[in-house]
């Protein structure tokens, strides 16, 4: 590899002094064999991938069917985010809140620095300057990740604006988020993901996987950014952003927060059902995982996607469920922990064609043993390769948001869709969100838990303060979006999903935009406004009587219990929980008694 062993004095005297100093400090601690400053060029990427192919980190996939595609197999004990090893280290424990694991910053630094000591001996240390968001957007923020993983470099190159332009912006601004990462020994007992929001710093050790290692993503763009956003008056959210164009040619932008592996990528790339397509409905993709938004001069919320690529769940991606994702990942894609066909094509459960012969652990495929692809196997691909890619993704001003949607995996009780009465009610709906856990994090799957705004694993500060921050946007001058809740995952008595989902979700989006414009009707209930039977277009959807009842009904007894549980949940945060939210919960609970 043509590594550029940049002399530390190269940037001396510029506003990169603090960066150079930090890099020198880290090198002194971790003792790498070489230091490489990433410029993000094609030549650099070619050299890196060639080196990774040579040492087996990357396996070349079928060049005919999947040009420029690679398979990476992670350590089998390192396949998902590790929430129990993820900490928010604020001076005051209450600032991190009951929603986070906490450690005192001095203790956390000592613990991490002991792990980092000498850990890069014989390895190359990569310095990755990156920008989260369009390079020329005032809403964007820069960071630098130092890592000893070339796989992380290759992923960061796809997921962020990485290299020379980011370094130039850092030089101009003089500040950036410092992320230090080492794969260490990949020992689950020597693995920690530490955040220091007061210092705009991250230290991650012992994992090479996804959100644990690609520090621009969840660590920076959500945990650190949410903390920063609170002090600066904006929001950093676990939300997709889509553009919905109607037959009249108007485009409305929708931001939606669903927990990990609960359908953001799928909704962001939705292809409308046949009849809707004919009428001219289109969905364009601005983002599939993270949304930064702030009020513009007109009081509307304007959103950017801080990422430049998709790190999407592979299993379940098919021509039927998500043709846009499938089309995106035919070339120039890194696959992690998927299976292989006999002719070296990537394969995962739910793919329409092909037969796996090798599983994600490089063993002969045996369905009795394990699935071909790990349930949290992923693809990394540039957003620009998506057929529904929206050029608005590059708009430095962001896109105006018409509706915010919350949703989770709720097998029972929660109907297909309902609308908040107002902003405060919307914040309560977000705060009370629940969902079944998924394979995106280690631990049991299918366990119901509260996951407010899909931010349980990602909020860099006390949820009580976070809800207050959300409430503060209702300041009399902002023109806030309407808020909705959806549930694509309601199950029937037989255990099957009652709603067809995927492309058919457009019908629900259509109703939402109708509500935004004041053209669609609703039925008021204590939990919010449900679509009136005739107001949601179900033409061509075959729903059983059970489905109709459960998707559009309102179970007063069940909701009474749910609201008691929501009340208890809010109390867990003690006196910091905003009174307005508790009042809203009580108001609805009282209505449900009636």
Tell me the catalytic residues: 262
Kindly give the pairing relationship between strand 339-341 and strand 417-419: unpaired
Contact 379, 333 (CB under 8 A): yes
Contact 6, 35 (CB under 8 A): yes
Q: How far is the CB of 212 from ligand SPV (least distance, A)?
A: 7
Residue 321 or 382: which CB sits closer to ligand GTP?
Answer: 321
Q: What is the DSSP string of 128-156?
A: EEEEES-TT-TT-EEEEEEES-HHHHHHH
Phi, psi of 482 (to 5 degrees): -75, 150
Q: How far is the CB of 539 from ligand SPV (least distance, A)?
A: 34
Residue 269 or 527: which CB sits closer to ligand SPV?
Answer: 269
81 binds, among ligand SPV, Mn ion, ligand GTP, none (CB under 5 to 8 A by kind): ligand SPV
262 binds, among ligand GTP, ligand SPV, Mn ion, none (CB under 5 to 8 A by kind): ligand GTP
473 binds, among Mn ion, ligand GTP, ligand SPV, none (CB under 5 to 8 A by kind): none
Q: How far is the CB of 439 from ligand GTP (least distance, A)?
A: 9
Residues in the chain: 594
Among 70, 151, 258, 335, binds ligand GTP (CB under 6 A): 258
Stretch of 125-133, 258-266, 364-372, 441-449 lying at the interface with Mn ion (CB under 5 A): 258-266
Q: Which residue is nearest to Mn ion (CB)?
A: 289
Residue 206 or 578: which CB sits closer to ligand SPV?
Answer: 206
Among 78, 83, 289, 307, binds Mn ion (CB under 5 A): 289
SS3 per residue for 221-279: HHHHHHHHHHHHCCEEECCEEEEEECCCCCEEEEEEECCCCCCHHHHHCCCCCHHHHHH
Encoded tokens for 407: 């949703």
Encoded tokens for 490: 């309601």
Instruction: Say how far apart CA 58 and CA 155 lie, in whole Å.
Output: 12
169 binds, among ligand GTP, ligand SPV, Mn ion, none (CB under 5 to 8 A by kind): none
Q: How far is the CB of 583 from ligand SPV (least distance, A)?
A: 32
433 binds, among ligand SPV, ligand GTP, Mn ion, none (CB under 5 to 8 A by kind): none
- Is residue 451 close enough to count as binding Mn ion by CB under 5 A? no
Q: How far is the CB of 553 from ligand SPV (least distance, A)?
A: 31
Tell me which residues in 426-455 interact with ligand GTP (CB under 6 A).
440
Stretch of 64-72, 315-323, 357-365, 572-580 lying at the interface with ligand GTP (CB under 6 A): 315-323
Instruction: Say how far apart CA 303 and CA 433 lie, in whole Å.
Output: 22
**3-state DSSP call for residue 518?**
coil
Contact 197, 223 (CB under 8 A): yes
Among 181, 264, 410, 490, binds ligand GTP (CB under 6 A): 264
Contact 294, 234 (CB under 8 A): yes
Q: How many CA atoms lie within 13 A of 520 on its CB side?
A: 23
| Binding footprint of ligand SPV on the chain (CB under 6 A) | 81, 210-211, 217-218, 260, 289, 311, 440
Size of the site for Mn ion (CB under 5 A): 2
Encoded tokens for 403: 């509706």
Residues 6+ apart with CB under 8 A from 436: 408, 409, 410, 411, 445, 446, 447, 448, 449, 489
Instruction: Say how far apart CA 203 and CA 187 lie, in whole Å.
Output: 16
Instruction: Say how far apart CA 585 and CA 428 lie, in whole Å.
Output: 7
Q: How far is the CB of 60 from ligand SPV (least distance, A)?
A: 24
Q: How far is the CB of 90 from ligand GTP (least distance, A)?
A: 25
Q: Which residue is nearest to ligand GTP (CB)?
A: 501
Instruction: Say how far apart CA 123 and CA 35 lie, in whole Å.
Output: 9
Q: How far is the CB of 116 from ligand GTP (least distance, A)?
A: 28
258 binds, among ligand SPV, ligand GTP, Mn ion, none (CB under 5 to 8 A by kind): ligand GTP
425 binds, among ligand GTP, Mn ion, ligand SPV, none (CB under 5 to 8 A by kind): none
DSSP 3-state helix, strand, coil percentages of the chain (rounded to 5)?
A: 35, 25, 45
Binding site for ligand GTP (CB under 6 A): 258, 260-266, 288-289, 312-313, 315-316, 321, 440, 488-489, 497, 501-502, 505
Residue numbers at the binding site for Mn ion (CB under 5 A): 260, 289
């Amino acid at each position: 590899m043509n590594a550029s062993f940049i002399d530390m004095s190269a940037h001396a005297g510029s506003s990169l002094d603090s960066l150079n100093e930090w890099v020198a400090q880290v090198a002194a601690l971790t003792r790498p064999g070489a230091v490489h400053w990433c410029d993000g060029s094609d030549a650099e990427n070619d050299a890196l991938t060639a080196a990774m192919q040579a040492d087996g980190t990357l396996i070349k996939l079928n060049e005919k069917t999947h040009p420029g595609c690679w398979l990476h197999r992670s350590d089998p004990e390192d396949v998902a985010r590790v929430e129990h090893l993820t900490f928010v280290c604020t001076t005051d424990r209450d600032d991190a809140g009951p929603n986070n694991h906490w450690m005192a910053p001095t203790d956390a630094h000592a613990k991490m620095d002991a792990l980092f000591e000498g850990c890069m001996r014989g390895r190359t240390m990569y310095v990755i300057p990156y920008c989260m968001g369009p390079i020329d957007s005032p809403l964007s923020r820069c960071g630098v990740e130092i890592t000893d993983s070339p796989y992380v470099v290759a992923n960061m190159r796809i997921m962020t604006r990485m290299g020379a332009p980011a370094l130039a912006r850092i030089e101009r601004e003089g500040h950036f988020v410092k992320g230090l990462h080492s794969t260490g020994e990949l020992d689950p007992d020597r693995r920690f993901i530490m955040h220091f929001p007061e210092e705009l710093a991250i230290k991650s050790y012992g994992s090479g996987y996804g959100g644990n290692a690609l520090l621009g993503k969840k660590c920076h763009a959500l945990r650190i950014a949410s903390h920063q956003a609170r002090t600066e008056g904006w929001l950093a959210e676990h939300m997709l952003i889509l553009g919905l164009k109607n037959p009249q040619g108007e485009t409305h932008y929708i931001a939606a927060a669903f927990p990990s592996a609960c359908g953001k990528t799928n909704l962001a790339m939705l292809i409308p059902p046949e009849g809707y397509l004919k009428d001219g409905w289109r969905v364009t993709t601005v983002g599939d995982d993270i949304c930064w938004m702030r009020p513009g001069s007109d009081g509307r919320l304007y959103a950017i996607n801080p990422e430049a690529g998709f790190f999407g769940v592979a299993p379940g991606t098919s021509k039927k469920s998500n043709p846009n994702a499938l089309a995106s990942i035919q070339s120039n894609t890194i696959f992690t922990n998927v299976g292989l066909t006999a002719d070296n094509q990537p394969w995962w459960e739910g793919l329409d064609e092909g037969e796996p012969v090798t599983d994600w652990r490089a063993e002969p495929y045996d369905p009795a043993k394990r699935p071909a692809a790990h349930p949290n196997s992923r693809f990394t691909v540039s957003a620009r390769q998506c057929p529904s890619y929206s050029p608005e993704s590059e708009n430095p001003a962001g896109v105006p948001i018409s509706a915010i949607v919350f949703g989770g995996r709720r097998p029972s009780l929660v109907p297909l869709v309902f609308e908040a009465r107002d902003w405060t009610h919307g914040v309560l709906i977000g705060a009370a969100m629940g969902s079944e856990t998924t394979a995106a994090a280690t631990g049991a799957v299918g366990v119901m838990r509260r996951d407010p705004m899909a931010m349980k694993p990602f909020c860099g500060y006390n949820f009580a303060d976070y809800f207050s921050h959300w409430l503060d946007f209702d300041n009399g001058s902002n023109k806030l979006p309407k808020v909705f809740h959806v549930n694509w995952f309601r199950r029937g008595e037989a255990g099957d999903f009652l709603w067809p989902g995927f492309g058919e979700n457009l019908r629900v989006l259509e109703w939402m935009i109708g509500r935004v414009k004041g053209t669609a009707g609703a039925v008021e209930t204590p939990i919010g406004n449900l679509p009136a039977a005739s107001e949601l277009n179900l033409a061509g959807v075959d729903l059983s009587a059970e489905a109709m009842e459960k998707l559009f009904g309102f179970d007063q007894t069940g909701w009474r219990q749910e609201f008691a549980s929501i009340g208890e949940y809010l109390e867990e945060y003690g006196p910091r929980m905003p009174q307005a939210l508790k009042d809203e919960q009580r108001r609805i609970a009282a209505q449900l008694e009636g």
